[in-house]
Amino acid sequence: MPFLEDIKVGHRRELGTFTFTADNIKTFAREFDPQPFHLDEEAGRNSLFGGLAASGWHVASVCMKLIVAEGVRARAEAEARGEEIATGGPSPGFRDLRWIKPVLAGDTLTYTSEIESVRATASRPGWGIVHSRNVAVNQRGEEVYSFLGSVFMPQRGERR
Amino acid sequence: MPFLEDIKVGHRRELGTFTFTADNIKTFAREFDPQPFHLDEEAGRNSLFGGLAASGWHVASVCMKLIVAEGVRARAEAEARGEEIATGGPSPGFRDLRWIKPVLAGDTLTYTSEIESVRATASRPGWGIVHSRNVAVNQRGEEVYSFLGSVFMPQRGERR
């Protein structure tokens, strides 16, 4: 994790890919979103989605899974380079989450994250807030999911 | 599910309660958000959260679970009264999701939903869009989670 001063607007990182299967769609839906079009192929085909569709919250939770995995990789790489590593703070929330197109069984999404803004926070001296636009694109190149995430990150200056 | 014309701004419904336990917090986190403060009591105590904390995406997914369960109950009640029932459309996304305070192991949240706006959509004749403010409060009455959800609902007039 870089410090606030090291985070550049426009920096884009690929978070990874995930394939939604009938099995993982139904497993998530049974616990958190048991609507017919998330549980049953025929109900999905007869719905506006046109097929067995992943819960939007499943699509969102997988994004978090990939953000964490990318963070672990980035941290290992920074450690290997001998860089000082910042520990990020909590996320206060996010804005403008969009489920743009259905995610159907068999779809593979590629998630990316791009830094949209970086600023120091008046309310938390020594910290700043980073906004990132997180996006998922399916195997046909169609954008299916997007949200503007926020996370607190420490400033390097205050820690030294 | 009522039709668009039957949905009133300010109408508030209790969605239900859910207790976050060390076990369900860790189970969700292992699959979708494997950060130390979501997986380990001591790491949680040493974090800004001050205890084993639920993933924000877990708090959000439980809200969806309770929204679906409430919808099933409301539908059964409407059927029992012999009312015509509308089938809701998809959610295009939502705005302003806020994780306001940590949700720790042992916390019980009560989720409610209040209609914030109802309007016909120019882009989808026969439909409208409903915005609801969904909120979770813990056992001390503190608001911990909030988002402004959106869902397409059919108009009664167009279906007759």
pLDDT at B63 over 80: yes
Residue B159 lies in a domain: no
Split into its structural domains, chain A has a count of 1
Residue B46 lies in a domain: yes
Residue with tokens 């008046």: A122
- CA–CA distance, B80 with B87 (Å, rounded to integer): 16
pLDDT at B159 over 70: no
Nearest chain B residue to A87 by CA distance is: B47
- CA–CA distance, B96 with A79 (Å, rounded to integer): 35
Nearest chain A residue to B151 by CA distance is: A99
Best CA proximity match to A143, nearest among A96, A104, A111: A111
- CA–CA distance, A78 with A85 (Å, rounded to integer): 7
User: Which of B32, B98, B111, B131 would you mutate first to test chain A, the one with the most A CBs within 10 A?
Assistant: B32
CATH of residue B45's domain is 3.10.129.10
- B95 and A96 within 8 Å at the Cβ level: the answer is yes
Nearest chain B residue to A49 by CA distance is: B90
- B94 and A97 within 8 Å at the Cβ level: the answer is yes
Q: Residues A77-114: pLDDT tens digits? A: 988 998 887 877 778 888 888 999 999 999 999 999 99
* Per-residue tokens: A46: 């007869």
Residue A160 lies in a domain: no
Residue A126 lies in a domain: yes
Q: Cα–Cα–Cα angle for A30, A31, A35, nearest 5°? A: 45
User: For residue A141, what pLDDT is reported?
Assistant: 97
Question: Which of B89, B91, B147 faces A56 most closely, judged by CB atoms?
Answer: B91
* Per-residue tokens: B113: 């939903």
- pTM of the model as a whole: 0.90
Q: What is the mean pLDDT of chain A?
A: 92
User: For residue B99, what pLDDT is reported?
Assistant: 92
Residue B160 lies in a domain: no
What sections of chain B are H helices per DSSP?
A: 22-32, 36-39, 41-45, 56-80, 156-159
What is the number of alpha carbons within 13 Å of residue B157 lying toward its C-beta? 7
Structural domain containing residue B143: 4-154
Please, which residues bridge with residue A127 across strands?
A154
- What does DSSP assign to residue A157? H
Low-confidence residues in chain A, pLDDT < 50 = 159-160
User: For residue A160, what pLDDT is reported?
Assistant: 42
pLDDT at B107 over 70: yes
Residue B102 lies in a domain: yes
Residue A42 lies in a domain: yes
User: For residue A105, what pLDDT is reported?
Assistant: 98
Best CA proximity match to B102, nearest among B149, B148, B35, B150: B35
What is the number of alpha carbons within 13 Å of residue B129 lying toward its C-beta? 13
How many beta carbons lie within 10 A of that of residue B5, not counting itself? 15
- B57 and A60 within 8 Å at the Cβ level: the answer is yes
